[in-house]
Structure 1
Amino acid sequence: MLINENLNSLGFKGVKNIYKNLSVSELVERAVLNGEGKLTSSGALNVNTGKYTGRSPEDRFIVDQRSIHNDINWGKVNVPIAQENFDLIYKKLIEYFQGKDLYIFDGFAGADKRYSMKVRFINELACQNLFVHQLFIRPTEEELINFSPEFTLICAPGFKADPVVDKTNSEAFVIINFEKKMVIIGGTMYSGEMKKSIFSVLNYILPQKGVLPMHCSANIGIEGDTALFFGLSGTGKTTLSADPNRRLIGDDEHGWSDDGIFNFEGGCYAKCINLSKDNEPQIWNAIKFGTMLENVVADKNGEVDYSDDRFTENTRAAYPVDYIPGAVLEGTGSIPKTILFLTADAFGVLPPISKLTKEQAMYHFMSGYTSKLAGTERGIKEPQATFSACFGAPFMPMNPSFYAKMLGDKIESADVDVYLVNTGWAGGPYGVGKRMKLSYTRAMVTAAINGELKNVEYVEHPIFKLMMPVSCQGVPSEILNPINTWENKDEYRKYALELAKKFKENFSKFTDVPENIQEIAASIE
């Protein structure tokens, strides 16, 4: 069989059973029989990932090779590892699989066939093979006949690295090898590492084809108008894009070509802490048989308590996009008309919504200000103000200026409206103020997408120079200017200046910044 020939070429020997492209039912059955998880009352498979309940950014590496060395933005995010260390880890990883079962899923990353990448996932665990089956694009039977992977991902949570010998930072590792067209993952059972690794690969490959890769969700209206939602985990991408009045294209990762946008995936990976049927009915109803839950608390009868964060606040649900009613199953959309940058401002000083010029959009895209929310990375217990270039720095191999220039060109050519939306705190910083009401945020987002904010009156924020609307249907006008929500106006200005200083400090590290973007940076007080 082709699969065995491929496994031999990868070095696999003496594996026990090979389960290739199993159905959802078969994968769920294997996961339960193996003791990897339990079924909940809704039929979803609930898995506990142990101590790794979020991404582990300090354990992510890219093999430093001559062919890519000058392209990669090396540093704290893109950490190099030597080829010889990769080879050492890989040899031990393959030996680890002897006598073990393998679960293989062949799928696509990228809904636009002109740019899609064939990926083979090789898993130690059936539950993780279920995850990639539901999250990535599932081929037809015909497409599987002569399937030849362009990239291979091997994931073995039970295999642990030796930091001293292997030159890793811990027992866990996520290593991308562009020349070998391979990703290897070990020591962590958090499934999101697989998803984000393939995203990182596409973020390097697609720009070379004129496609802007984006960490964003996307939906489309009945008139064919596409909207993009940028933001880090927990800022509301999944929640706000799952709009019953619009069709979901995808909830996390997309490409923007000259012809439109396309989803990288075939599924959604939604946060479900404090999930409720009233606030997020589409996500609630998607959690059924075939969905994989991570680290959700359930009792002995399988009844789930989404408010319980005893394992992590980063509880997750992975399900195929067709579990969302009316989703765009082909995974494509028109050139965007509206872009929304979502930020969870822990300082509580940014306006709940503001309109951006193209230059401001490029500036805020490069800045990527938000707050790391509890649980999304190991060790994060409460919101921390942070900057993540392109709203996805951990997954962007190249210089942020490169991606920002691509975005600016596309905004200009398509005359896109861009808004900065604060889904974080108002009336004070975290611990004092309150999180912005979801109903208000939804109303502002709807107004932006429908074009209702194009012609309203605006006022300029005195420090950040953002244009704030003075009215928005469904939103109390007094909250549109954030200073109005603070009892102590002097305190507001103090916190706003403190955040502005952080913006300046962060932006000073960028290189090759266009002059018009430097002017935006200089205008902030």
Structure 2
Amino acid sequence: MAATAETPNEHPLPPHAVRLEDQGFTGLGEAFWNLPQAVLVEHALGRGEGQLADSGAAVFRTGTYTGRSPQDKFIVREPGSEGEIAWGSVNRPVESEVFDRLLGRVQEHLQGRPVYVTDTFAGADPEHRLAVRVVCERAYHALFAHQLFLKPSAEELGAFRPEFTILAVPDFKADPGRDGTRSEVFILVNFARRMVLIGGTLYAGEIKKSVFSILNYLLPRRGVMSMHCSANVGDAGDVAVFFGLSGTGKTTLSADRRRHLIGDDEHGWSDSGVFNIEGGCYAKCIRLDRTNEPEIYGAIRFGTVLENVVLDPETRGCQFDDASLTENTRAAYPIEYIPNYVPSGRAGHPKHIVFLTCDAFGVLPPLSRLSPEQAMYHFLSGYTAKVAGTERGLGAEPSATFSACFGEPFMVLPPQRYAELLGQKMRQHGTQAWLLNTGWTGGGFGEGRRIPLPYTRAMVDAVLSGRLDEVPLKTDPIFGLRHPLSCLGVPETILEPRSAWADPILYVEAARRLAGRFRKNFERFGGISPVIAEAGPLISG
């Protein structure tokens, strides 16, 4: 695959762009620059990195690490940023000397080895986009970056100057005793060097979320709200934003053939409106169903990257129901694979914000209309249940958790900073907020059942169409949430969680326990307005 005098590299580095040597990378083998999709697929399969599914998608296994490794992520402590970062269990500090030594070892590892370079943009709004260069030793990761981020034009590539560089070296395993890491895996973010080092793991989601973490530091400092959300827009220009952690339904609910998809996971909200940070989608595809999720199912085709999806050994058909490798099977594809996407990746200001939660205890109403104060309370709380496989270390059952801003693992600044910015924008543009529970009804996990997706879609339709504007609301006596008494296409027993339980006493006990967890979690937020702090559950314990 190396270029020779007879077979020159068809995609050489543009003459005016920044070279790897200019960034201090020397002694590397051949660099494959900005290869197109088909060539990257050829390279990945030719190198034995993956297999081809019968749909044309390229399938890769990530081995030991089938999800993110949050405990192995560190931020380099340096004078320019250390005063703003929310240090703690999410943003762990590491000294610059550790980063420099590890970078030197990674460069030694890459000596003489071929690398793939993908120059991309993050941020569809030209005023707020970030030029990101991804350098990796796997063609599979280059294909992932090609599909997930925004592609510069030929003219833009000719003058491309990376503002951040991500170096992904999964075949390099760190030595904790020597390198100062926690394990063989490392994700080190250096704002001073404008670089991210990722090693020891094949899971491509680390590349994606590293870019998001960078923008969660940069954008709010410019007055732009960075959001872990999906977004779509109706024909009338009404924008809807869906916040939520992995597995709560962001991608599924925003991919609606009756509306236009802005993006499925990461967005900014500037003075001009909402813009997609990415150019592709990264959908969970465990138990993917053609009927319930036709848009995502249809996106599984040539060029799509599948992670840890099991293939039939004879037909190469995707076994989407097979979770033997992980629950966190993934599909990465360009957003244009979804019908009715917004080519510009931009739209106006949100009319509705929907906070998605997967309530593992089955006690929250499926749908609640939030006051401005409740919106801030639940945004800061970020309650949901993580699904096994999304992160290492989770058990077989969902684990209830509180993740500030519905994305705390990626938030670099204090959560209050994002909440204040969101509140300002919601007040300025008259945005209505809702809490949508995509979790359990009639009991907790193992006893009740997951709320059927058609019911959830019906509730979203009712919200976005305005059909619930005049529907009577009932206030839940424990959580203080106001939920509609009726919704077209949804049984009333689903809308009223207490009535869905066979034993009302057990419901009250479970609801009180969860309310207590809400109140206990919120104690960690200092400097919050009492009006917001009092907008949570009314009864607990």
Tell me which moved more, 4-13 or 45-54. 4-13
Quick check: 2:57–2:304 contact (8 Å CA) kept in 1?
Answer: yes
Of residues 426, 440, 443 in structure 1, which corresponds to 2:441? 426
Q: Aligned to 2:19, what secondary structure does the other structure show?
A: helix
Q: Distance in 1 between matches of 2:193 and 2:275?
A: 26
| CA displacement at 1:63 relative to structure 2 | 0.4
2:472 maps to: 457
Q: Aligned to 1:360, what secondary structure does the other structure show?
A: helix
| CA displacement at 1:521 relative to structure 2 | 3.8
Q: Distance in 1 between matches of 2:502 and 2:50?
A: 49
Describe the shift of the 1:85–1:332 C-alpha distance in structure 2 as closer, same or farther (beyond 3 A).
Answer: same
| CA displacement at 1:3 relative to structure 2 | 8.5
Equivalent AA in structure 1 for residue 36 of structure 2: S
Q: Aligned to 2:40, what secondary structure does the other structure show?
A: helix
1:255 maps to: 268
2:24 maps to: 11
Of residues 525, 529, 534 in structure 2, which corresponds to 1:510? 525
Quick check: 1:12–1:97 contact (8 Å CA) kept in 2?
Answer: no
Q: Distance in 1 between matches of 2:74 and 2:16?
A: 28
1:311 maps to: 325
Equivalent AA in structure 1 for residue 389 of structure 2: G
1:78 maps to: 91
Describe the shift of the 1:407–1:243 C-alpha distance in structure 2 as closer, same or farther (beyond 3 A).
Answer: same
Q: Aligned to 1:159, what secondary structure does the other structure show?
A: coil
2:156 maps to: 143
Describe the shift of the 1:510–1:414 C-alpha distance in structure 2 as closer, same or farther (beyond 3 A).
Answer: same
Q: Which runs of 5+ in 1 are unaligned?
A: none
| CA displacement at 1:293 relative to structure 2 | 0.2
1:224 maps to: 237
| CA displacement at 1:514 relative to structure 2 | 2.2
Q: Distance in 2 between matches of 1:33 and 1:100?
A: 16
Q: Distance in 1 between matches of 2:227 and 2:100?
A: 31
Q: Deviations over 1:460-486 (max 9, x none)?
A: 010110001001111111221100100
Q: Distance in 1 between matches of 2:476 and 2:537?
A: 15
Q: Distance in 2 between matches of 1:290 and 1:14?
A: 31
Are 1:196 and 2:209 matched, yes or no?
Answer: yes
Equivalent AA in structure 2 for residue 164 of structure 1: G
1:474 maps to: 489
Quick check: 1:103–1:124 contact (8 Å CA) kept in 2?
Answer: yes
Query: Matches of residues 492-511 of structure 1 in structure 2 within 5 Å?
Result: 492-511=507-526
2:7 maps to: none
Q: Aligned to 1:309, what secondary structure does the other structure show?
A: coil
Of residues 425, 442, 456 in structure 2, which corresponds to 1:441? 456
1:238 maps to: 251
Q: Which runs of 5+ in 2 are unaligned?
A: 1-12
Query: Matches of residues 340-351 of structure 1 in structure 2 within 5 Å?
Result: 340-351=354-365
Q: Distance in 2 between matches of 1:273 and 1:133?
A: 23
Q: Distance in 1 between matches of 2:388 and 2:258?
A: 30
Q: Distance in 2 between matches of 1:186 and 1:476?
A: 49
Q: Distance in 2 between matches of 1:220 and 1:4?
A: 36
Q: Aligned to 1:420, what secondary structure does the other structure show?
A: strand
Equivalent AA in structure 2 for residue 107 of structure 1: T
Are 1:96 and 2:109 matched, yes or no?
Answer: yes
Q: Aligned to 1:487, what secondary structure does the other structure show?
A: coil
Equivalent AA in structure 1 for residue 350 of structure 2: P
Q: Deviations over 1:297-347 (max 9, x none)?
A: 002331111000110010000000000011001100110001100000001
Q: Distance in 1 between matches of 2:533 and 2:449?
A: 33
| CA displacement at 1:360 relative to structure 2 | 0.4
Q: Aligned to 1:6, what secondary structure does the other structure show?
A: coil
TM-score relative to the length of structure 2: 0.96
1:404 maps to: 419
Q: Distance in 1 between matches of 2:502 and 2:537?
A: 29
| CA displacement at 1:519 relative to structure 2 | 2.2
2:406 maps to: 391
Q: Deviations over 1:424-456 (max 9, x none)?
A: 001111111100010000000110111111111
Q: Aligned to 1:337, what secondary structure does the other structure show?
A: strand
Q: Deviations over 1:359-387 (max 9, x none)?
A: 10000000000001111001223200000
1:330 maps to: 344
Query: Matches of residues 481-492 of structure 1 in structure 2 within 5 Å?
Result: 481-492=496-507
| CA displacement at 1:164 relative to structure 2 | 1.4
TM-score relative to the length of structure 1: 0.98
Equivalent AA in structure 2 for residue 81 of structure 1: V
Quick check: 1:12–1:98 contact (8 Å CA) kept in 2?
Answer: no
Q: Deviations over 1:18-49 (max 9, x none)?
A: 10000000000000011000100000000000
Quick check: 1:12–1:95 contact (8 Å CA) kept in 2?
Answer: no
Q: Deviations over 1:48-96 (max 9, x none)?
A: 0001000010000100112111101111011001111011111101111
Quick check: 1:356–1:418 contact (8 Å CA) kept in 2?
Answer: yes
Q: Distance in 2 between matches of 1:52 and 1:436?
A: 30
Quick check: 2:217–2:411 contact (8 Å CA) kept in 1?
Answer: yes
Equivalent AA in structure 2 for residue 519 of structure 1: E
Are 1:208 and 2:224 matched, yes or no?
Answer: no
Equivalent AA in structure 2 for residue 116 of structure 1: R
Q: Distance in 2 between matches of 1:255 and 1:464?
A: 30
Equivalent AA in structure 2 for residue 338 of structure 1: H
Report how many residues are paired: 525
Coordinate RMSD, CA, aligned: 1.2
Q: Distance in 2 between matches of 1:255 and 1:274?
A: 30
Q: Aligned to 2:535, what secondary structure does the other structure show?
A: helix
Quick check: 1:152–1:183 contact (8 Å CA) kept in 2?
Answer: yes
Q: Distance in 1 between matches of 2:500 and 2:322?
A: 30
Q: Distance in 2 between matches of 1:260 and 1:450?
A: 20
Q: Distance in 1 between matches of 2:180 and 2:361?
A: 38
Tell me which moved more, 53-62 or 5-14. 5-14
Q: Deviations over 1:163-216 (max 9, x none)?
A: 112221110011110011111100000000000000000001001111000000
Of residues 318, 339, 343 in structure 1, which corresponds to 2:353? 339
